Structure 1
Amino acid sequence: MTTGLKHKILEVCDKKIAQKGHTVGVSFYAFFKNKNDNPELLMEAATWWIKTHKLDHFEKAVKIKKLVE
């Protein structure tokens, strides 16, 4: 996973946790805008999420943060 994507994931997870608490869930779509302006990065995130870690569509933000760290 690229450093830029790691930073983005951590940033989004921190923001979601601060807003909604430690039980908030996220999907890998949470790290992207609502348009497909970077398909390579989206596929990198999807591969990491689905193929590498076999995660469900929604996972706790704290879990994702720990995996990335």
Structure 2
Amino acid sequence: MRASLRHKVIEVCRKKIATKGENVNVSFYAFFANKNDDPILLMEAATWWIQTHQLDHFVKAKDVIALVESEAA
């Protein structure tokens, strides 16, 4: 996953946790506007989420952060 997407995923997850609490769930669609203005980036996120990690549609935001941060190390 490219660094800019990693940063965006972590930022969105942290905002969701701040507003909705520790147990909030997200899907990879949370990282994009309702308008499909960057299909390549959307497919990169979908591939990472679905194929690489076989995540369910909704996953705890804190778990997504931990997964992204562990890959960046």
Once the two structures are TM-superposed, the CA of residue 22 in structure 1 deviates from its matched residue by 0.7
List gaps (5 residues or longer) in structure 1.
none
**Letter of the aligned partner of 1:12 in structure 2?**
V
Runs of 4+ displaced beyond 4 Å:
none
Identity of aligned residues (%): 68
Structure 2 length as normaliser, TM-score?
0.94
In the superposition, the TM-score normalised over structure 1's length comes to 0.99
Matched residue SS, 1:67: helix
* TM-superposed deviation, 1:48: 0.2
The whole-number CA distance in structure 2 between the counterparts of 1:10 and 1:55 is 16
Matches of 2:63 and 2:41 in 1, distance apart? 21
Distance 1:49 1:22 in 2: 20
Aligned residue pairs, count: 69
Aligned-pair RMSD on alpha carbons? 0.3
Give the aligned partner of residue 23 of structure 2: 23
